[in-house]
């Protein structure tokens, strides 16, 4: 029995023994290793942690080139798995190592992306109870609240995140999405512009402001919407979704909102 337990524990620590490793261009993959340095030209660009969702932009043998926001680099494929394969893996990690918040945080992030909102909320509730002054936890629970349509709860969480960290750009961008959902477009624009002052190269701030401006529908704002979209695309040129929105807006002009932003706000959920 002891040997079986040891074998199980060892297997749980080796992602490559659990997951397939057939990654392709534009796959969404998740970091499953406790530490996964993302490197470019021999230098660490950023550190991947469990649950971080990345976009595959290249494959070379055992190395995978990935993108996250405006950063990209290479990582060993053994640190990654397809997004639809990892919830059970993280659940095993949570059971084995309940004191390590990183596994519960990873499961919550993946559960949100897979639309398993109740699981994500349970994990964030646990994490916030354990560490109530962590702005990141409040921000992420706020994102799930937006997805669930619980906009007032989301705004309370995002308010708390900003109280804890007044320079938390992602929290301002996400609160803007909640304001957009509540048709409070002026407040959304204010949050986007605060995010821009804190980080002039945050693509989501420009994109979210374009949504708020367009849906507000004030005369003369279509060109400002276009300019925000152009700026967002310039900052994140690989985002084909934004490109499609700009093309649709160029085609429709100032008169037709029937299919432009039909499903907005789009939730980036940083």
- Is the pLDDT confidence value at 200 over 70? yes
213 contact partners, CB below 8 Å, separation of at least 6: 185, 189, 221, 224, 225, 228
Q: What tokens were used for 216?
A: 């507000």
Q: Give 62-120 pLDDT, tens digit per residue.
A: 899 998 877 889 999 999 999 988 999 999 999 999 999 999 999 999 999 999 999 99
* In the chain, % of residues over pLDDT 70: 80
Crossing angle of the two packed helices 2-12 and 87-96, in degrees rounded to 10: 130
User: Tokens representing 206?
Assistant: 């420009």
**pTM for the model:** 0.81
Residue 257 has a pLDDT of: 44
Q: Please, what are the domains in the chain?
A: 1-131 (no CATH), 139-270 (1.25.40.10)
Residue carrying the six token digits 């649950």: 51
> Which residue pairs, CB below 8 angstroms and at least 24 apart, start in 216-221?
216/185, 216/186, 216/189, 217/257
Q: Residue 31's pLDDT is what?
A: 95
R_g over Cα of the chain? 20
Q: Is the dihedral of CA 31, 33, 38, 41 positive or negative?
A: negative
Q: What is the mean pLDDT of residues 171-185?
A: 96
- Higher-confidence residue of 127 and 223: namely 127
């Amino acid at each position: 029995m002891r040997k079986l337990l040891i074998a199980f524990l060892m297997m749980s620590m080796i992602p490559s023994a659990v997951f397939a490793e057939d990654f392709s261009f534009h796959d969404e993959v998740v970091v499953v290793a406790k530490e996964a340095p993302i490197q470019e030209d021999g230098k660490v660009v950023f550190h991947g942690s469990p649950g971080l969702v990345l976009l595959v932009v290249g494959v070379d043998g055992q190395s995978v080139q990935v993108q996250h926001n405006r950063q990209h680099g290479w990582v060993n494929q053994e640190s990654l798995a397809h997004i639809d394969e990892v919830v059970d893996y993280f659940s095993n990690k949570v059971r084995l190592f309940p004191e390590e918040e990183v596994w519960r945080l990873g499961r919550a992030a993946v559960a949100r992306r897979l639309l398993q909102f109740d699981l994500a909320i349970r994990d964030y509730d646990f994490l916030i109870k354990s560490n109530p002054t962590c702005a990141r936890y409040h921000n992420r629970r706020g994102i799930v609240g937006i997805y669930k349509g619980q906009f007032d709860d989301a705004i309370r969480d995002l308010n708390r995140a900003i109280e804890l960290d007044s320079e938390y750009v992602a929290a301002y961008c996400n609160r803007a999405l909640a304001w957009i959902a509540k048709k409070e477009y002026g407040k959304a624009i204010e949050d986007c512009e605060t995010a821009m002052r804190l980080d002039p190269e945050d693509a989501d701030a420009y994109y979210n402001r374009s949504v708020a401006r367009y849906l507000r529908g004030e005369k003369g704002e279509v060109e400002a919407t276009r300019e925000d979209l152009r700026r967002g695309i310039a900052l994140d040129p690989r985002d084909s979704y934004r490109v499609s929105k700009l093309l649709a807006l160029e085609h429709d002009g100032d008169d037709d909102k029937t299919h432009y932003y039909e499903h907005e706000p789009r939730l980036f959920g940083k």
